[in-house]
Chains A and B, each alone.
Chain A
Amino acid sequence: MSKIREHPPDADGEMTSPKEGDLEAFAVFTQLQRGDPHTYAGCVDAADAKMALQFAREHYGQDQPCVNIWVVPKRAIAATEYDKDLIWRYTDQTYRLARGYAKGVREKWEKIRAKNDLDDYEKEDLKEMF
């Protein structure tokens, strides 16, 4: 520890601060590359949005290359409640998922691509002959 820190002086007088606190929570969203979605990175407490951006830049922007940051006051975010709000249904609705299509669709696409390749090949072949 630095010697200067062994005896930090006491602040003169009582520090004043409002009862409700000076700070507000902001959610931070970072974007790793242009065009990528902004993803939730965490939270900072700050006095205003400008300061929140400053903090977010040092907290979340320095760990990995990052091109853009959003901060949103947490109070502006409306959210569901874990216990109260049902999102995933209880009844079997797996038909809503596209999983079942995957295999058949891939086979169809492969057939179409193979045919296209053959057509292209024939076109080139004809060009060379005539």
Chain B
Amino acid sequence: MDRLPENLKQPTIDLLLAVADDKLMLGHRNSDWTGLGPILEEDIAFSSLAQDEIAHAQAIYELLSPLVNKTADELAYGRSADQYRCAKIVELPDNFDWAIAIARQFFCDHFDRLRLGRLARSSYKPLRDLAYRLAAEEQVHVDHVDAWIVRLGRGNDESKRRVQTAMDGLAPLAPMLFEKVDAEDELVDAHLYPRADDDMFHAWRDVLQHVAHEGGLSIELSPPDEDAHGGRRGHHSEYLKSLLDEMCEVYRLEPGAAW
């Protein structure tokens, strides 16, 4: 289909905001590392990946733009915190602990690759075409972060301890990436957000555990609590507000200014 049925419009908007908001916040958090990366090469690579995340978010906001009658900039910078649909894991600061930044990226990139893989089969053509391209780029991110997890795990006692601690700290939080937006089941039934071939949570957990195992590390993950209300329904941590205050500082001075 090229046009959205009226009853699926709002759920589609919520779902795409979830995808784009995750990427925008992650890109913003990662861009804080520019100039502070552990080695020069990684500093440049990580900054480049952060730009990718922001470019992905922008492309999705542009797809959304005609549906909500707002520009991509208005969507990215012009909402109040409760109108964002990102998961909590992308909101948290990493306190410049490289192990936390990598662990966060590990959980999020693998989730995003699976999510984009589903969207790349969407019945809604504009979304399918975009997701197909983004999924290919997301694979690059996954390869990058996997290499780091294995490298840190096999590094020395300190690197192993720190990356294991970081993963243990984020593991209880990470499954909330799977929280559904309102009326998500209707999108699944309409193949707008097609079902994964295998259960997506198990696929995600398996691949994370496989990579962790390769680095001599372990991950314990429980399925998301269906009743918990989180970022996908507008319930955010206090960190999102301070992130937005800073990210949107310039935009808020003069919304709609031409650049």
Contact = CB atoms under 8 A, between A and B. Distances in A.
A8 B94 CA distance: 10
A57 B141 CA distance: 11
**Which among A17, A45, A51 has the highest number of chain B CB atoms within 10 Å?**
A51
Nearest to A43: B41
Given A5-B32, A8-B36, A16-B156, A45 B41 contact: yes
B39 A45 contact: yes
A58 B96 CA distance: 22
Interface size class of A (residues with CB under 8 A): 20 to 34
A22 B97 CA distance: 19
A48 B48 contact: no
Nearest to B28: A2
A14 B140 CA distance: 33
B101 to A, nearest CB: 12
Contacts of B40: 45
B226 interface: no
Contacts of A18: 156
Interface stretch (B68-76, B125-133, B143-151, B187-195): B143-151
B151 A16 contact: no
A102 to B, nearest CB: 45
A33 interface: no
Nearest to B94: A4
Contacts of B238: none
A57 B158 CA distance: 28
Contacts of B49: 58
A54 interface: yes
Contacts of B44: 55, 58-59
B36 A57 contact: no
Nearest to B33: A5
Given A3-B246, A15-B158, A50-B147, A59 B32 contact: no
A50 B146 CA distance: 10
Contacts of B7: none
Interface in A32-64: 44-48, 50-51, 54-55, 57-59, 62
B42 interface: yes
Nearest to A52: B41
**Which among A4, A8, A57 has the highest number of chain B CB atoms within 10 Å?**
A4
Interface string A1-32: 01111001101000111100011000000000
Contact of A47 (B97, B151, B157): B151
B207 interface: no
A54 B147 contact: yes
A10 to B, nearest CB: 10
A47 B152 CA distance: 10
A22 B36 CA distance: 18
B151 A58 contact: no
B39 A57 contact: no
B136 interface: no
B174 to A, nearest CB: 22
B93 interface: yes
A47 to B, nearest CB: 6
A51 B149 CA distance: 11
8 contacts: A2-B32, A8-B36, A15-B158, A16-B156, A51-B147, A54-B144, A54-B147, A55-B44
Interface of B: 32, 36, 39-42, 44-45, 48-49, 93, 95-97, 140, 143-144, 147-148, 151, 155-158, 246
Interface of A: 2-5, 8-9, 11, 15-18, 22-23, 44-48, 50-51, 54-55, 57-59, 62
